[in-house]
Structure 1
Amino acid sequence: MVTVRGRSQGRLCEIEPPTRSPGRYCFDESEGSMGASGAAPRDEEQPVARRLSWTRVGLLLLVVAAVAGGAFVSVTEAADRTETTTLSWSVPYVDVTLTPTFQFQDPSANPARTVALAFVVADPEDGCAPSWGGYYSLEEAGTDLELDRRIDQLRSAGGDVMVSFGGLVNDELAITCTDTGDLTDAYRDVVERYDLSAVDLDVEGTAVADLAAAGRRAAALADLQRERAADGSPLAVWLTVPVAPTGMTAEGVDLVRATLAGGVELMGVNVMTMDYGGAKPAEQSMIEATEQALRAAAEQVRALYEEIGTTLRDRQVWSRIGATPMIGQNDVEGEVFTLDDAAALSSFARATGLGRVSLWSLNRDAGCGASFADVAVHSNTCSGVDQEALAFVDEFAGLGGDGPAVRISDTVEDAGRQPVVDDPATSPYPIWRAEAQYPAGYKVVWHGNVYQARWYAMGVDPSLPAAAGVPSPWALLGVVETSESAPEPVPTVTDVTEVWNPDALYQRGARVFLDGLPYEARWANRGAAPGTLFPIGPEEAWEPLFDLPGQPAGS
C-alpha cells in the first residue's frame, strides 16, 4: 500500500479522478502488497489467549462472551484444548496522509473499534527519523493532522490504534537506519508517543529480501519488547508480507525466519491476500485464491516454529495468521474482492480461528459514484464496486463476537476530566458561532471539543447529533486539552504600519493594523472596524492579511 499527503502511501495505481495523487505508485503483480497491524503477546507453549490491549489487564481465560462487546481481541482458545470458540481480530487500515483525511475517530465514519494507522516510514532527510509517509514528522502530524488528538478521541470512546511501519512506497526505518541503537530509538519514539500495545511491520518490494535490514529490525524490536515487558506494557508485533496462492515467497519465509531468530516475540504473520497477478490461475476466484494462500502460509508458519523448537497445535497456528485483502478492485485488472468474498472470508476466519482480518483500506470503503465511468476503477478513495459506505468493514467488524458489529461510542466518557469553558483566550481554535461561515477543513472549539468542517457549514451546532439519514457537516476530533492556549495568527505581510482609525475614510486596497494584525480594505468604508471574530465573513469590509491555525489553506 501507499500513503501520501494528498497522495496515497497506500498501494493503488491511481488512474481515475476525483482525488489525484501527485505521483503514481504501482504494485508488482507477482506479489501481494499493502500494510498490517497487531494484537498481544502470548506464551508459545500454552493455549492462545489475547489481552485487552488498551487497558492491559492481562490474559483472558475462557470468557470470550464477556468481551464480545469490544475487546482488543485476536483469538481465544479454551484451556481444555477444545477448538470451538474463537475470535478473530478485525483491524482495518487507515491511510493516514491521504487526502481527504479519513476521520477514523468519528463513529459516523468508522464502525471499527481498532484501526491500523499506516504508514510510518523513514524521513527522506534523516533515515533514522520516523515520519508519516515521508511528509510529516511526528510533531507535524500532531499539529497538521491532529493525529494525537484523534487517537485520544478514539480511545476515550473505547477504541484503540496500532501503527504500521513500512508499506510499498518509501523506506521502512530498518532499511535506511543502519545503527541498531538508533533504530531502536526510532521505533521507541513512535511506540511511546502513541502509547502503543501493538505494531505492524509491513515489508514489501525489495525490502523483503534485505536480510541485513531484517536482522537490524529484529534486534531493535526484540530490545523494545523486553523494555516494554519490564515496564508492564507489553508490545505485540505483527509482520506483514506478500503472499501468492502457493504461500509466501522464499524471501518472505526467510524474513519470518530471521525475525524469529532475532528474538522477536511475533504475534503473527499477516499476509496480503491481494494482487496475485500471474500467480493466480485465471479461473480461480479471489476467495479461492485467498483461502489457498492462507492455508499454505499457515503450514509455512507451522514449519518455521518447528525450526525454533516450538510445536503448535492447529488453533495456535491459525491464531498467528492474518489476512488483509484489498477491498473491491485490486491493482491487478480483473481481480475484484467482492462483498460476497468478504462474507466468505469472515466465515473462514471463524471456522479456522484466524488471528486477524484487516482490509486496505477504510479510506476506500465506499462506492465510487457517478463521477467515474462504468469501468474498473482504481482509486484510493473508493472501492470500484457497487456497495453501501462501510459495507466491508461492517462485515468484518462482527468477527469480535457472535453479536452484531460493535460500533464505538460517539460520547466521550472521561470522569476525571473537568468541564472546559470555551474561552477564546485559551481555546486552540476559534469558538464556533452560528452566524459564521465555515469552509471545509475549518477547525473550531465548541463545548470543550475540537471539531472540523467536513464541508461548508453554517448554523449547524457541531455538538448536536445529526438527524436520521442526514450526516453532520462536523467531525469530532477530540477534547480541548487543559494545556492548550489561544492560536497565534501569522501575518502574511510585513509592510503595514497605519493603525485603523474609526474616523478615517479608507479606499479599497488600504491596509491597516488592528490589535497588531494587518487587514486590507475590500471596498471603501468609514467606521467599519476590522473583524476580530474568526472566521471573518465575506460581508466584512476588511480582508485579513494573516493565517490563523485551524483554517484550511487558501480560505
Structure 2
Amino acid sequence: MARVSKNASADAVERAQAPEAASGRRLSPWRVIGAALVAIVVVSAGAVGLQWWSARAAVDAKPWFASYVDVTATPRFAFENLGGTTTKDAVLSFVVSSPSDPCAPSWGGAYSLDQARGSLDLDRRIARLQQQGGTVAVSFGGQRNDELAVHCVDPSALKNAYASVVDRYKIGTIDLDLEGTGITDTDAAARRAEAIAALQQERRAAGKSLAVWLTLPVAPTGMTSDGTDAIAAMLKAKVDIAGVNVMTMDFGDAKDAKTSMAKAAESAVSAAQRQLGILYDRAKLHQSDPSLWAKLGATPMIGQNDTEGEVFTLADAASFNSWAVSNGLGRMSMWSANRDKTCGSNYVDVTVVSDACSGVNQGKKSFAGVLSKGFDGHIALGEGAVTTAEPTSTATADDPAHSPYPVWASKNSYLKGTKVVWHHNVYQAKWWTKGDVPDNPVLNAWETPWELVGPVLPGETPIPQPTLPAGTYPTWTGTGAYDKGQRVLFDGVPYEAKWWTQGDSPEAASANPDSSPWTPLSQDEVDQIIGGSGH
C-alpha cells in the first residue's frame, strides 16, 4: 500500500505542475513548497499505514495461553494429561546449568537431558501431549539455579547448549526466565544475547524459526533497570524478540495494601508496555502500540504468592484476563499448572505456598480455564514435532529390540511403577498387576491398573533399567527375623518390612499386599538408592 500511496503522491505533484508548464508561466516558490508539503503529507500517511500494517502482520499469531509446569517438582505433575483439556500448551521449566558442567543443560540441576528421558520419561510425555494437539516451550533459568549463560563463558558452547534443547524436544519457542544472577550479571546478558542471536540466524539459514520470549520480574511501576538492560542487550545483538513476559507476582512493599492483585498486575503490564516502546525506539526499531501490546505477556502466581498476604484469587484472574484481552496482550501464562487445584484437608496452613496446590478454594473452577479465555492461539510448533498419534495395530508385534521397556506378558507380575510396552505405546503400572491387558478398554481410569504414558518413539532401543546389585541389602532367608523398616532383596527385588516378621516370604506381597509384612520399593525409590541424589 505504501508503494501505491507514494506513486499517487508523485502523480499529484505532476498534475499540480502541468498547468503551469502548459501556460509557460513559472511556478511561485510558495506554490512549489505547498505542493511539496502535500506530497510529504501523503507519503507520510502511507508510511504510517505501512507501519501499522507491518505491526499487525508481525503479530499475526493469535494470543496464546500456556501454564508453566515445574518438571522436577514432587509430586510429579502429569503435564501430558493437559492434552485432554482445553488448555493443552505448556511451558516446561527449568533448564539450567548442570552442577558438574556449566555448559551442559540439565533439568533443575537434577537430571541431564538423557537422565530425564529415562527417569522422568520426559521425551515420551512431550510426544504424548503433542499427539493430543498440545505444544510445549522450554524455559531456561528460573530462580533456584544458574541459567546457562551465567557460568558457560564459551559463546559457541553456550549456543550449542541452547540448540541441543531446541533440537531434542523439537520446539519452536523458548522462554528465558531471568532472575537472580541470571538478570544482574551483565557479562552473562551479553553472552546470552550473542548465543541466541547466532542460534536464530543458524535456524533461519536452515529454513526454521525460533520464537524467543524474555520472562522478567516487574513491579506495579514497571520493570527494573536490570530487566530493561536485558532487553536492550538482546536488541543490540539483533535478536528477534517474540515478546517480553512479566511476572506479575510477589510485589511486596511495591503494592499498596488496598490495591487488588489484578489492578497491581494491570499497572505493572501497562508500565512495562511503555518501557518496551522506549527500548525499541532507542534501538531504532519503532513499534506501534498494537505491536507492543502483542509483544507483552503476563504470568501471575495463582492463589497464595510467595509474599505473605498476597493472594491472586479467581476473581483477580477473571478481572485481569478481561483487561489483558481488551488490550491485546500476546500471551498469558501462570505459575503453575502443578498448583492449579484446591489444597486437600491435610494441608493445614494455606498461607504457606505449596508446590502442589493454590491455597484458595477453587470449587470446580481452574485458574487455567479463567485466565485462558480469549487466548485461543498456540505456542509455535517446532519442526518435526509429533502431531498425530501412530495407529495402534495388534497385527504388528512389538519389537523388543526397538522398545524402551519390556514388552508386556500376561504371565508376568508387575509392581507399581513398572513400565512396559504394548501395541507400540508405553504404559506404567498404578499398582501391582498380573494378566491385565494394558490397553483393555475401560470406562473409568480406576478400572485399569495401567496408565498410558506415551508412544514408543522412532528409533528407540531398550533403556537400561537400574537394578540393585547383589549385596545392596541382605538376601531374604526364611529363618531370619526382620524388624520394621529393614530391607532385603528377594529375587533381586528390594522389599521393606512393614512390621517385625519371620518366615513370611516377600513373594506373598504381590498376591496379598495388605496382609503381607513386606512392601516392594517403587522404581523411584530404587532410582534414589542408585543415584544417591534423592531425586
TM range (shorter): 0.7 to 0.9
Give CA-to-partner distance per residue, 1:511-541, whole Å, 9 cap, x none: xxxxxx758999989xx9x99xxx9935699
Equivalent-residue separation in structure 2 for 1:420 and 1:386 (angstroms): 49
Are residues 1:302 and 2:277 paired? Answer: yes
**Of the candidates 445, 452, 464, which is equivalent to residue 428 of structure 2?**
452
Q: 1:463 — aligned with what? A: 439
Q: Does 1:240 align with 2:248?
A: no
What are the within-5 Å matches in structure 2 for residues 116-195 of structure 1?
116-195=91-170
Q: Is the 8 A contact 1:237 1:267 kept in 2?
A: yes
2:345 matched residue in structure 1:
370
Question: Which whole-Å CA distance do the structure 1 matches of 2:492 and 2:444 have between them?
Answer: 44
Paired AA for residue 60 in structure 2: T
State how far apart, in whole Å, the 1-side matches of 2:192 and 2:291 are.
25
Which runs of no fewer than 5 residues in structure 2 stay unpaired?
1-50, 378-386, 481-490, 496-500, 530-535
Cα separation, partners in 2 of 1:546 and 1:255, compared to 1, 3 Å: closer
1:387 lines up with 2:362 in the alignment = yes
Secondary structure class of the residue paired with 1:441? coil
1:46 to 54, 59, 73: 54
The whole-number CA distance in structure 2 between the counterparts of 1:125 and 1:242 is 28
- In structure 1, how many angstroms separate the alpha carbons of the residues matched to 2:494 and 2:326? 68
| Cα distance in structure 1, aligned partners of 2:174 and 2:265 | 24
Aligned equivalents of 1:98, 1:115: Cα separation in 2:
15
Q: Any idea what the Cα deviations from partners look like across 1:443-485, whole Å, max 9, x if unmatched?
A: 2333321122456777875435664696976442211246445
Q: 2:284 and 2:422 mapped to 1: Cα distance?
A: 58
Inter-CA distance 421–302: structure 2 relative to 1 (3 Å threshold): same
Larger radius of gyration: 2
Q: Supply the distance in 1 between the matched residues of 2:521 and 2:304 (Cα, whole angstroms).
A: 44
Q: So what's the TM-score if we normalise by structure 2?
A: 0.74
The aligned amino acid for 1:48 is R
Higher mean displacement: 223-232 or 255-264? 255-264
Pairwise CA distance, 1:150: 1.0
Q: State the alpha-carbon separation in 1 of the partners of residues 84 and 259 from structure 2.
A: 34
Counterpart in 1 of 2:27? none
Structure 1's 368 and 518: CA in aligned 2 closer, same or farther, altered over 3 A? closer
1:478 aligns to 2:451 (yes or no): no
Question: Per the alignment, do residues 48 and 147 of structure 1 end up closer, same or farther by CA in structure 2, a change over 3 Å counting?
Answer: farther
Note the C-alpha offset of 1:88. 2.0
Supply the distance in 1 between the matched residues of 2:415 and 2:494 (Cα, whole angstroms): 21
- Which of 500, 510, 514 in structure 2 is aligned with 1:537? 510
Query: Which structure's residues are more often helix, by fraction?
Result: 2
| Aligned partner (choices 439, 443, 447) of residue 419 of structure 2 | 443
Partner of 2:374: 399
Equivalent of 2:80 in 105, 121, 128: 105
User: 2 CA distance for matches of 1:204 and 1:519?
Assistant: 44
Where in structure 2 are the equivalents of 1:56-71 lying within 5 Å? none
Distance apart, 1:103 and its partner CA: 1.2
Partner of 1:64: none
**Normalising by structure 1, what TM-score?**
0.71
Query: CA 1:508–1:132 in 2, change beyond 3 Å: closer, same or farther?
Result: same
Per the alignment, in what secondary structure is the counterpart of residue 312 of structure 1? coil
Unaligned 5+ runs, structure 1: 1-42, 51-74, 78-86, 403-410, 497-505, 510-516
1:174-219 CA deviation, whole Å, 9 max, x = no partner? Answer: 1011111111111111111111211011101233221111110000
Secondary structure, counterpart of 1:91 in structure 2? strand
Structure scoring higher RCO (CA < 8 A, sep ≥ 6) equals 1
| Counterpart code for 1:222 | A
Counterpart of 2:287 (choices 293, 304, 312) is 312
Identity of aligned residues (%): 44
Q: Please, which of 274, 280, 295 is the counterpart of residue 249 of structure 2?
A: 274
- Aligned-pair CA distance for 1:424: 6.0
Q: Is the contact made by 1:106 and 1:475 (CA closer than 8 Å) also made in structure 2?
A: no
Q: Which amino acid aligns with 1:477?
A: V
- Who is 1:76 aligned against? 60
> Which residue matches 2:389?
413
Answer yes or no: is the 8 Å Cα contact 1:47–1:316 preserved in 2: yes
- Give the Å deviation of 1:308: 1.3
Structure 1 residue matching 2:368: 3-state secondary structure: helix
